[in-house]
Structure 1
């Protein structure tokens, strides 16, 4: 409408004050776009969360030693396997989303093929580590009986490494194109099958811990197969699909420069919670503190589904818009996502505080565990005020191909600020269990502040130019870009020195 500027608008002076403002209609439209992408991802996260609860219930039903062994094996698998594969896979997100926005389907498909080959190779390396878990933990003076059972769990979980090496790239390849519902449907199908598979292998055949691990592997394989079948039969791949070729075995430098810092960023955050459990074991009454920490980590994992889903959505939106050379739209998506994440943080904080005296009762009746959880839940809620914007900020940085910046922020906030505060308060100033969570709070506040500063000071015009260069990295293969092969690394050079920690 030619008279559009006269309609009722509420302008926010949040973008370039000389060029752009945000109107209510723009905010509403962008919010709809983000939520349209995020909602199926949220459903997928909740479905996967329920499936992990089923596995833990079956482990607990087997007995205390099986639960301890399964928990130890799962922690080892998370640290050495799943976090690594997930983090490395996120390196393809800016390449795929920007290639889709730039309408370069061959680069999108080629990136998928390269990452599958790359993750399969990494899975082989990880598998050697998993089959030697028993020797590693015995060397670290862990209980041989628990470790032996944990080794059995990992042995039957090995196929899942290769399943995830295919699933993660396919999911990101689809999400970069705004296609999220097939993953949700496939995950739902596997979760419906997860319970009967566990009943069959664990209860009927008596395979114990091995049955729980095999059930998880089989369920994930069903996810992969049903996803591929759905996408292929529906023809969702056709607009961007290219047949695999030997080209996917070349041009890995940009891939590695994006994958490595993405992996570091994810692992730094995942490993923090594992370290927290170890620190709980050093406090007075470790049985209660470790159990309470387990409940709280399950709680924060549930809450994390929502900001992480929004993070994936904004990463796709920012990448698509930068690839299409629309910096204003990318900036709009980033600002709106931060606002929505703030609302999520307020909701999560309210939920955690209101449930502080009731939540732990769903897991235990032990009075000491209930007391510790009640003390920590309000602190956990305050952590979410920082965690939600920080998580979404990471998504913005991924979409603009700046994973090194995210890794630097996580390293500085969690390990240079949060860890010293947690150890100091928890062990030297007498705060104990709550001191560890206050350390996490300090990390989240620092992380959110740094992330918002980085996002708020972004030169979006420059990022759009970098996106045009990044999508021309494979210039010899695309035939539509004049970039020379010797300039391949230029789009990635600006990652270096952002914080001076990871270059």
Structure 2
């Protein structure tokens, strides 16, 4: 009988070059992930500390009464949302300029950049002052309830010092982030938060000063934060980037304003989208319950959004640094790693929101009806949390690369020509109330995210590196830069 051999030739060993390429790619991914986390981690903690200032205020005011919670939420979401978004956007011009200047080794102009941004942001705060002083009639004009408008107007007037604190805060934070000086800022942000919680307990809970007391506590907390940041800036930690106040801050303001406005429009269109949603919800029947439910959900959403904001800042710095240094492939790798990592973290928060959708409203209120209405929105909240783990990272790429103007047009179309009209139809015409309005908002965000992903997929990073070089030559003094490193 013939026997059949089971011997087989051994599979050919993989080429040494293939193993080296795979190992090299994994190392680049690990290195880039480490670089992102070194920026994102402290920024996340900083954003959480600063966000918790408003979160703690809402938590204490929520136990004063439903109208007070709705009023403070409307001011935070509408009035401060408008101001916060505009000033954050104006300050975000520094992410493009400072980040690309650091990548090119031109740190000498960073101090002048931040001073120019202060001038522009403080002037913008003065222009926004009437909004704070006339909050009550403005809300009535937007058909908000009389009770909510009255309390909101009183609260907003006492929040004016926070408006000017924002104007100083955002430029100086971008100055620190561009140079990866983020851990000190995290420590600076933690101390005012502790003071804020203690003062709210004393002034609002124990002494019963209500919304006015909450506003005054917020003013003190924000200016403690600003004072600490300024002390660190002028204390000698930035010998090259900060050489003192200069009259150059008032030079070429026209061009700087244009760049700041482009950044502001892009970010404002995103932040005001949520403001518009709050206004729509305020026009529903029984607005105290509807606004309260939406506001509680948005507070949780914003809390989880801090992680994505950390990656927004990190990828903005990394993309700007790499483009400024003429390393387009490294910039592209930063985008891929940041989106993948933030999405993975967002998935964890999404699952947590689904599991705790019936318990989390009780932190803000003991009203059973409000708790029930908030729990109904839990599924939409979870979907929004996951989507917002990706979208802000894409916006960070746009800022780092200097695409603010183009993304602004995308935001107008997706948010205001698609999302809000659908929200109005679902909420009012089809009578789905707050749920319908949130669905419309979500549709607009999905469309915007999809378009940004397509833009990223089609981006030619070598061209972006050349544009960054031109930008640095214009704003930084015309220094000879290295040629593009195709292998980077």
> Under a length normalisation based on structure 2, what TM-score does the superposition of the two structures give?
0.87
**Alpha-carbon offset, residue 66 of structure 1:** 4.0
Give the secondary structure class of the aligned counterpart of 1:388: coil
**Alpha-carbon offset, residue 226 of structure 1:** 1.4
1:465 corresponds to which residue?
Answer: 466
**Alpha-carbon offset, residue 328 of structure 1:** 1.2
**Alpha-carbon offset, residue 83 of structure 1:** 1.7
**Alpha-carbon offset, residue 346 of structure 1:** 2.3
Q: Which moved more, 1:406-415 or 1:361-370?
A: 361-370
2:340 corresponds to which residue?
Answer: 339
* Match runs of 1:487-498 below 5 Å: none
**Alpha-carbon offset, residue 320 of structure 1:** 0.7
2:232 corresponds to which residue?
Answer: 230
1:308 corresponds to which residue?
Answer: 309
Counterpart CA distance in 2 for 1:10 and 1:325 is 24
* Match runs of 1:395-474 below 5 Å: 395-474=396-475
1:378 corresponds to which residue?
Answer: 379
When residues 446 and 73 of structure 1 are mapped into structure 2, their CA distance, relative to the original with a 3 A threshold, is closer
Counterpart CA distance in 2 for 1:199 and 1:376 is 30
2:10 corresponds to which residue?
Answer: none
Contact 1:386/1:447 (8 A) holds in 2 = no
Q: Cα RMSD over matched residues?
A: 2.7
State whether structure 2 residue 26 is matched by structure 1 residue 27. Answer: no
What are the Cα deviations for residues 239-259 of structure 1, in whole angstroms up to 9, with x where unaligned?
A: 322333222212124322322
**Alpha-carbon offset, residue 10 of structure 1:** 4.2
**Alpha-carbon offset, residue 61 of structure 1:** 4.3
Larger RCO of the pair (alpha carbons < 8 Å, separation 6+): 2
> Under a length normalisation based on structure 1, what TM-score does the superposition of the two structures give?
0.85
What are the Cα deviations for residues 363-393 of structure 1, in whole angstroms up to 9, with x where unaligned?
A: 4455554444334322222233332222101
When residues 385 and 211 of structure 1 are mapped into structure 2, their CA distance, relative to the original with a 3 A threshold, is closer
**Alpha-carbon offset, residue 175 of structure 1:** 0.2
Contact 1:113/1:248 (8 A) holds in 2 = yes
Counterpart CA distance in 2 for 1:240 and 1:425 is 52
**Alpha-carbon offset, residue 420 of structure 1:** 2.5
2:320 corresponds to which residue?
Answer: 319
* Match runs of 1:171-182 below 5 Å: 171-182=173-184
Counterpart CA distance in 2 for 1:88 and 1:405 is 16
**Alpha-carbon offset, residue 38 of structure 1:** 0.4
Give the secondary structure class of the aligned counterpart of 1:178: coil
Q: Which moved more, 1:242-251 or 1:80-89?
A: 242-251
When residues 286 and 156 of structure 1 are mapped into structure 2, their CA distance, relative to the original with a 3 A threshold, is closer
2:75 corresponds to which residue?
Answer: 73
**Alpha-carbon offset, residue 345 of structure 1:** 3.2
Q: Which moved more, 1:200-209 or 1:23-32?
A: 200-209
**Alpha-carbon offset, residue 113 of structure 1:** 1.2
Contact 1:186/1:224 (8 A) holds in 2 = no
**Alpha-carbon offset, residue 211 of structure 1:** 2.3
What are the Cα deviations for residues 84-110 of structure 1, in whole angstroms up to 9, with x where unaligned?
A: 111111122100100111111232222
State whether structure 2 residue 482 is matched by structure 1 residue 480. Answer: no
State whether structure 2 residue 170 is matched by structure 1 residue 168. Answer: yes
Counterpart CA distance in 2 for 1:119 and 1:472 is 25
Counterpart CA distance in 1 for 2:27 and 2:34 is 11
What are the Cα deviations for residues 286-344 of structure 1, in whole angstroms up to 9, with x where unaligned?
A: 44332221221112111111111101100000001111111111111111112112213
2:158 corresponds to which residue?
Answer: 156
* Match runs of 1:109-148 below 5 Å: 109-137=111-139, 147-148=149-150
Contact 1:397/1:455 (8 A) holds in 2 = no
Structure 2 segments unaligned to the other structure (5+ residues)? 1-14, 482-488
Of structures 1 and 2, the larger Rg is shown by: 2
Counterpart CA distance in 2 for 1:268 and 1:29 is 34
Counterpart CA distance in 2 for 1:452 and 1:479 is 33
Contact 1:201/1:212 (8 A) holds in 2 = yes
Counterpart CA distance in 1 for 2:185 and 2:444 is 33
1:359 corresponds to which residue?
Answer: 360
When residues 433 and 134 of structure 1 are mapped into structure 2, their CA distance, relative to the original with a 3 A threshold, is closer
**Alpha-carbon offset, residue 470 of structure 1:** 0.7
Structure 1 segments unaligned to the other structure (5+ residues)? 12-21, 483-503
Give the secondary structure class of the aligned counterpart of 2:389: helix
